[in-house]
A = this chain, B = another copy of it.
Amino acid sequence: MVYKMSDDNTVYIGKKETMAYVLASVTLFNEGAEDIFIKARGRSISKAVDVAEITTRRFLSNAEIIDIITDTEQIKDGDKTINVSSIEITIKVKE
């Protein structure tokens, strides 16, 4: 599965280092986004939380995490269907 790193206002967390996604997030805000979404599945979920925490605490003190939702997605692996947890973190510029 190939993820683009960012698309519209969404940053998809994959195998790159954490700071690459922090930079992608900060860039979206600098380009004028008022809210962005950080999405991850499976083991990348921990990294998504790191990205959201670092982005809001170290780089963008005028932005905050306003919503976190989780889900279970079904992914086909050959004949089997695997359940994988996912997370979507919304960061928004403070008003």
Contact = CB atoms under 8 A, between A and B. Distances in A.
Contacts of A71: 53
A28 interface: no
Interface size class of A (residues with CB under 8 A): 20 to 34
A65 B70 contact: yes
A52 B42 CA distance: 13
Contacts of A87: 49
Given A49-B85, A53-B72, A65-B70, 4 more contacts: A46-B46, A52-B70, A53-B85, A70-B89
A9 interface: no
Contacts of A42: 46
A51 B44 CA distance: 15
